[in-house]
């Protein structure tokens, strides 16, 4: 079976355009369609998950709020944030939905470790977090998010990882539905400020992880 993986670096793309492209790709794919990883950035936008609650959007101002069919609550995308969409045939790769979430979280954690940043996942709230001293006190902050959609056994949407962006818009929402959740980013933690550099490092980690799943497939739901 063809397990070719195509990686695309798309630059800055409007969220609505990429959302439409992901859905059309997933609806049109066949069992022979190669999987793809899309790396990109978005102009400023708040995206609301399928079960998102309006009360978590506090004061969007001039930033548009776009509804989507991914899981999770509201989040923010903007320049300086790396977004990666895994367009994967989960049945073919033998990955369950929970397994894919863990794979994406672990890939972000491994990428951050390259920069000397110790990050961790939480079982109660998908994503990647750090515990550091901020403004003189120890605090837990989030820098990576995961939100997925699976249709006919194939995934789209994906992850976002804060690199070097304006974090202020996160204060206009309850990020991922958590009031008071603070955000941070790689450049504030001693890592690179170049989204392209982080994208290439994350690509290396993800491709290796996906090859491992091919060698030792998990049980899909």
* Catalytic center residues: 176
Q: How many residues does the chain have?
A: 221
**Whose structure tokens read 């006190």?**
137
Yes or no: say if 54 and 77 are a contact pair by the CB < 8 Å rule: no
Nearest residue to 163 (alpha-carbon basis) of 130, 210, 197: 197
Spatial separation of the C-alpha atoms in residues 142 and 3, rounded to whole Å? 33
**Whose structure tokens read 């804060």?**
162
Phi-psi region of 200 (alpha: psi -120 to 50; beta: other; left: phi over 0): alpha
- State the helix-helix crossing angle for 195-215 and 97-113, rounded to 10 degrees: 130
Here the tokens at position 153 are 């056994």
Partner residues linked to 67 by β-bridges: 48
Residue 83: helix, strand or coil by DSSP? Answer: strand
């Amino acid at each position: 079976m063809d397990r070719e993986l195509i990686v695309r670096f798309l630059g800055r793309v409007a969220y609505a355009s990429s959302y439409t492209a992901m859905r059309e790709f997933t609806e049109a794919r066949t069992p022979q369609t190669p999987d793809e990883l899309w790396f990109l950035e978005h102009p400023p936008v708040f995206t609301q998950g399928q079960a998102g609650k309006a009360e978590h959007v506090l004061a969007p101002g001039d930033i548009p709020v776009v509804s989507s069919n991914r899981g999770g609550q509201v989040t923010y995308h903007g320049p300086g944030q790396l977004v990666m969409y895994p367009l994967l045939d989960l049945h073919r790769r033998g990955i369950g939905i929970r397994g894919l979430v863990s794979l994406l979280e672990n890939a972000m954690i491994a990428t951050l470790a390259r920069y000397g940043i110790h990050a961790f996942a939480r079982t109660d709230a998908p994503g990647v977090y750090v515990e550091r001293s901020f403004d003189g006190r120890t605090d837990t902050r989030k820098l990576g998010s995961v939100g997925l959609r699976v249709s006919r056994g194939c995934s789209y949407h994906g992850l976002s990882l804060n690199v070097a962006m304006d974090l202020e818009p996160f204060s206009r929402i309850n990020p991922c539905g958590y009031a008071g959740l603070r955000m941070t980013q790689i450049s504030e933690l001693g890592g690179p400020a170049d989204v392209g550099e982080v994208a290439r490092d994350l690509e290396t980690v993800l491709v290796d992880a996906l090859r491992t799943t091919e060698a030792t497939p998990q049980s899909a739901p």
